[in-house]
Amino acid sequence: MEILVCIKQVPDTAENDIELAKGGRDIDREDMVYSINEWDNYAVEEAIQLRDKVGGSITVVTIGDEEADDVLRRQLAMGADRGLHVCDQALAGSDGLGLATILAAVARQGKYDLILTGAQADDCAGQVGGMLAALLDVPFAALVNQVEVKGQGVLRIGREVAGGDQEISEIDLPCVLSIQTGINQPRYVGIRGIRKVASVEIPQLDAPALGLDPASVGDKAARLKRLDYFVPQGGPGAQMLTGKPDQLAAQLVEILKAKGGLR
C-alpha cells in the first residue's frame, strides 16, 4: 500500500509563550520553537502500522519554509520511507483551498492508495482533507479513529460522531482520511534516530515543479483571509474559595442559594 501523509509544522505551545505580532494579523514567530501538528503525528503512526501489516511505503509531505525540513526528518526517523518538501515563497499565504490544491498536485505525481491528514492543523479549520479528496475525486472520511484493511481495495474504518457514538463504514481505495487523535499511540523518536536521517536527501518542490500557476495559489489567490488576531477582554474573575472540605461545601451552598441555584 502506497501511503501519502500530509503533515504540518506548528508552534509548540509547550515551548513558546504565544504573543501577538504587531499589526494583529499573526502571532509573533520570532525565535519560535516548532513541532509537528499533533493530529498529523497520529496520522503518521497509523500509516506506519498499516504499512507494517500489508507492506508498501510511506511518503510524508509538508508545505513550508526551510525550517519545516526538521519536521520531515523527525517523521523519517519515526519510520516514514520518504519525504517531500514543498517550499516556494509564491505559495505563502495560501488558504485552505490553496493548500489542498498544492497537496493535490503532489498526490497526482505519485500513485497513492491512501492519503492521510490530521483532523485539524493549527488554524483548526479541519477543511484541507475534505477539499483534497474533492479535488482528487476520491472518497473521504473525517475524524477517523479506526482503520483496518478489509480486502483488496477496501478499508473498514471507524469514525467518531456526535454524542461519542462510533460509526463503522467501508470505504474504497484510493481515498483520503483525516485522522483523529487517540487512534493509536505515536512512537517515541529519539535523538539517535533523528541523527540517522540527518543526511537523507529530501526533494524540494516549487510551483513549477508541481505544474502550478503561482497566481492560482498563495496569498493573492486566497478567498479566505485572516483580518485580525486579538486577545478577548477578560470579564469578572472567578470567585476562589478557601478552607477545609466542609467549609468549602458550606460556602458553595450559600453561593448557590444566593444565585438562585438552590432553595
Residue 255 covered by a domain: no
**How do residues 93-121 score in pLDDT, each as one tens digit?**
899 999 999 999 999 999 999 999 999 87
Q: Say whether pLDDT at 231 is over 70.
A: yes
User: Is the pLDDT at 123 greater than 80, yes or no?
Assistant: no
Answer whether residue 240 is part of any domain.
Answer: no
- Asked if residue 243 belongs to a domain, the reply is no
Residue 68's CATH number: 3.40.50.620
Residue 261 scores a pLDDT above 80: no
Establish if 229 belongs to a structural domain. no
Range of the domain at 141: 2-221
pLDDT tens-digit series, residues 181-224: 999 999 999 899 999 999 999 999 999 999 999 889 999 899 88
The whole-number pLDDT of residue 122 equals: 61
The runs of H, that is alpha helices, within the chain are 38-54, 69-78, 96-108, 128-136, 191-196, 218-221, 245-258
Inter-CA distances, 66 with 8, 42, 62, Å:
13, 23, 11
Could you tell me if residue 112 is inside a domain? yes
Kindly tell me if the per-residue pLDDT of 170 is higher than 90: yes
Amino acid at 249: A
pLDDT at 80 over 90: yes
Q: Please name the residues in contact with 155: beta carbons below 8 A apart, sequence gap of 6 or more.
A: 114, 147, 148, 149, 170, 171, 173, 175, 177
Q: Tell me the average pLDDT of the chain.
A: 91
The mean pLDDT value for 13-23 works out to: 79
**Domain assignment present for 252:** no
Tell me the pTM.
0.85
Q: Is residue 130 part of a domain?
A: yes
How do residues 215-230 score in pLDDT, each as one tens digit? 899 998 998 888 888 8
DSSP label at 180?
P
Q: What CA–CA distance (Å, rounded) separates 196 from 191?
A: 9
DSSP string, 148-176: EEEETTEEEEEEE-GGG-EEEEEEESSEE
DSSP-assigned beta bridge partners for residue 4: 59, 115
What is the rounded CA–CA span in Å between residue 248 and residue 263?
Answer: 18
Cell numbers that stand for 103 in this block: 497537496
Position 13 confidence tier, pLDDT thresholds 50, 70, 90: confident
* Cα(60)–Cα(50) distance, integer angstroms: 14
Residue for grid cell 501489516: 53
Mean pLDDT of 72-78: 96
Predicted confidence at residue 203, as pLDDT, reads 96
259 occurs within a structural domain: no
Percent of the chain predicted with pLDDT > 90: 69
Among residues 37, 121, 96, 102, the alpha carbon closest in space to that of 71 is found at 37
For the chain, the domain total comes to 1
What's the one-letter identity of residue 115?
I
* Cα 64 from Cα 92, distance rounded (Å): 8
Q: Which three cell numbers stand for residue 65?
A: 519554509
